[in-house]
Structure 1
Amino acid sequence: MKIAMIFGTRPEAIKMAPLYKQMKKENIEVEIISTGQHKEMLNQVFEIFDIKPDFDLKIMRHDQSLEELSSALINKISPILKQKEYDYIFVHGDTTTTFIASLCGFYSKIPVCHVEAGLRTNDIYYPFPEEMNRKLVGTIAMYHFAPTVLAKDNLLKEGIKEDQILITGNTVVDALNWIIKNKKLEIKNIQKQFGLEDKKYILLTLHRRENQGEVMMKILSGIKKYLSENKEYHLIYPVHLNPNVRKIVKEELQNVERVILTDPLSYIEFVSLMEGSHYIMTDSGGLQEEAPHIGKPVLVLRNETERPEAIRSGVAELVGTDPDKIYKSMKTLNTAKYDDMSESKNPFGDGNASKRITNFIKNKKVNNFLV
């Protein structure tokens, strides 16, 4: 059996790394095709997990459009698939790399396996373009590895056959477990580097396309208002490399007291800051899965989420992008609500997703992970 794993962003790499390692452990021949959609941040993950891609397509260009990115991906991926005789292509989540790799697999008649399948907001423009990407991959894929029961139900509603779906839990829990087990010393030392080891701080990430521009300015205004009134809190914000994000962040936060702005962090650094934070504010999808695993409440800076399990289980709150609501939600989290959220059970897995997926592809039969 010969498998191609195709991914290009840091979140994809983090979530596919434990699966790659598990497949290698099971003596499956697997090659990584790295598109380089997030070049610098992607290389950090390869170093941490000691992984070397077999192909590095280096498609990243400054401020390229989705059309330019899609065209470059097709032109780079297709020749490799025509040259190699892969039995399966594995893709992850909802990126442009994931959609285009799946399309190229379809053109080459190679079965596509979709990890983290079935997430939906049911609004094709939110998040954009991720919601449409994952829906289109869902129509192409042969096998769908759904992280939760709800994700499986979404796929069944769209006409996917039950024997093509496996509930696995999310591989990000596998990745976190690996980091915590193998990088203990690094995690312990990182908080000291930022001078935060004895401080109460909030960890912020904010970069999604639909939150850029005026929306981002409003979100940050709500956060700034809270910080101005609650001087016991610090804020640390690893700023995405996108120039549209960096421009606004610089204008809004550069000179704000008790705010630490950094360049994107390595995954070990980020895990360390998650572990030491009081709580997390984010528009990221993956953080909604990661933070509950280490008992950190999450305020989700979006109007919709494809991970409603986090909201329903009480580990996260969907606070939207209105500055007044953000301010009030931060204020409310100072009460007993914090304890309720931090002690709730993570609905996204038990750390064995990679084993389930590997066993499935080897044997086509394995017990589901039931949340």
Structure 2
Amino acid sequence: MKKIMVVFGTRPEAIKMAPVIKELYKRDGVNTIVCVTGQHREMLNQVLEIFDIKPDYNLEIMKESQTLGYITSTILMKLDEIIKIEKPDIVVVHGDTTTTFAASLSAFYNKVEIAHIEAGLRTYNKYSPYPEEVNRQMVGIISDYNFAPTKLAYENLIKEGKNIKNIYITGNTAIDVLKYTIKPDFDNEYIKWLDNSKLILLTAHRRENIGVPLERIFEAVKEIVDRYQDVKVIYPVHKNPILIETAKKVFENMERIKLIEPLDVVTFHNLISKSHIILTDSGGIQEEAPALNIPVVVLRDSTERQEGVEAGTLLMAGTDKEKIVEKVCSLMERKDEYERVAKSINPYGDGTASSQIVDILLERNV
């Protein structure tokens, strides 16, 4: 019986790993071990509860003001002991978090095969996003299975010299998750608050945007709300004191901008589905929103999801106030532009990525 250890530590990882774990649980001939690092805590636990995933191990590393060095070194030490006890055949990681990098390095030190889901995303700028770009490149060097979500990600891995026999285009598991979370009759206090207004859903939390770039983003949002009386904004604010303080300062007395706690994945996905436009510096939402035909304005200078830009589902604005306002106004005022972006073909797959990944993990050896 093959033993597969799945390791993750943040809310976005948990969301995208959940359908893979659920698929593993269905299969015969596999012993699935789930290990969470606790790089995030409350937000991670929300996802585990929603998908009814009970970790076999929880490293519980999270502490106040944790540094990247602390996260990496602590996971390396704690996970090393677990890998030596469990002796998995494969360690499965996702994406580009510090948990992903540290778990992969721990598996490598123990000569355990590494499966990397969402492999091949690149900006080739080591500080954008930081530290994610370097994390995913380093995982790519030592991984044995590379599950690329798109052809572009596949081509990045080929250019970097990866063995073509170990690269698979599967689509992104983010699309699989929507089958579990989207509910046509979904309703809650935020939906009621919208009334008949058009929702702009804002997510902004990237390390590289904190400070002046974030203030420019918020000023752009203020101008948009002032310009369009039929618009309301919901901003789930990441639990970072600097983000919270900045948002409260800039959005003070703005009745049509609602600052809320981070949302569980079901509520968040259903808010995406009811949005008119998404403004984001996040990663996963760049894949999820196009699957629901919602235009996305990306608040970053570069994106590792370039295929979304090429497909027309993503509009790049960076953190320049004028560019953000310009992109949103074009979508608000030009029906043809809105329809073009909303109805562009989503390049991130058909919702079968998880079953493809599990088939490959169980059917072949590297």
Q: TM-score, normalised by structure 1?
A: 0.95
Q: Which residue of 1 aligns with 2:217?
A: 219
Q: Deviations over 1:267-317 (max 9, x none)?
A: 011011111111101001100000011110000000000001111111110
1:253 aligns with 2:251: yes
Looking at structure 1, the residues matched to 252 and 38 of structure 2 have their Cα atoms a distance apart, in angstroms, of 29
Structure 2 residue aligned with 1:22: 23
**Residues 160-179 of structure 1 aligned to structure 2 (within 5 Å):** 160-179=162-181
- The answer for the alignment partner of 2:66 in structure 1 is 64
> Percent identity over the alignment?
46
For the residues of structure 2 that align with 1:93 and 1:327, how far apart are their CA atoms? 31
Structure 2 unpaired stretches of 5+: none
User: 1:125 matched to which residue of 2?
Assistant: 127
Runs of 4+ off more than 3 Å: 191-194
1:1-371 pair list within 5 angstroms: 1-27=2-28, 28-180=30-182, 188-190=186-188, 194-334=192-332, 335=334, 336-364=336-364
Deviations 1:2-25 (A, max 9, x none): 011000011100100000111111
Shift of 1:190: 2.5
Change (3 A) 1:193 1:201: closer
Give the C-alpha shift of residue 244 in structure 1. Answer: 2.1
Structure 1 stretch displaced more, 64-73 or 302-311: 64-73
Moved more, 61-70 or 281-290: 61-70
Displacement of 1:199 in angstroms is 2.0
What is the rounded CA distance, in whole Å, between the counterparts of 1:7 and 1:331 in structure 2?
39
Q: Whole-Å Cα distance in 2 between the matches of residues 353 and 156 of structure 1?
A: 20
Q: Which 5+ residue runs of structure 1 have no aligned equivalent?
A: 366-371
> 2:72 is matched by which residue type in structure 1?
S
- Supply the distance in 1 between the matched residues of 2:304 and 2:188 (Cα, whole angstroms): 31
Q: Which shifted more, 320-329 or 188-197?
A: 188-197
Partner amino acid, structure 2, of 1:169: G
Does the 8 Å CA contact 2:126/2:134 hold for their aligned counterparts? yes
1:108 and 1:197, CA in 2 relative to 1: closer, same or farther beyond 3 A?
farther
Matched length: 361
Secondary structure of the structure 1 residue equivalent to 2:345? coil
Secondary structure of the residue that 2:49 maps to in structure 1? helix
Q: Distance in 2 between matches of 1:31 and 1:196?
A: 42
User: Secondary structure at 1:284's aligned position in 2?
Assistant: coil
What's the CA shift for 1:189? 1.7
Structure 1 stretch 241-250 or stretch 322-331: which is displaced more?
A: 241-250
Taking structure 1 as reference, are residues 63 and 302 closer, same or farther at Cα in structure 2, changes over 3 Å only? same
**Please, what TM-score do these two structures have when normalized by structure 2?**
0.96
CA contact (8 A) 1:92 1:116 kept: yes
Whole-Å Cα distance in 1 between the matches of residues 300 and 162 of structure 2? 28
Q: Partner of 1:320: helix, strand, or coil?
A: coil
Q: CA deviation at 1:26?
A: 1.1
CA contact (8 A) 1:191 1:273 kept: no
Cα deviation, 1:158-184, whole Å, max 9, x if unaligned, reads: 11010010100000101111223xx55
- Secondary structure of the residue aligned to 1:189 is coil
| 1: CA distance, partners of 2:180 / 2:191 | 23
Query: Residues 277 and 191 from structure 1, CA distance in 2 versus in 1: closer, same or farther, beyond 3 angstroms?
Result: farther
Distance 1:101 1:34, change over 3 A: same
Provide Cα deviations, 1:63-96, integer angstroms capped at 9, x if missing partner: 1111111122112211111111100000000000
Amino acid paired to 2:206: R
Matching residue of 1:368: none
Offset at residue 191 of structure 1 (A): 5.7
Matched residue SS, 1:306: coil
Contact 2:181–2:270 at 8 Å: present in 1 too?
A: no
Superposed displacement of residue 197, structure 1: 4.5
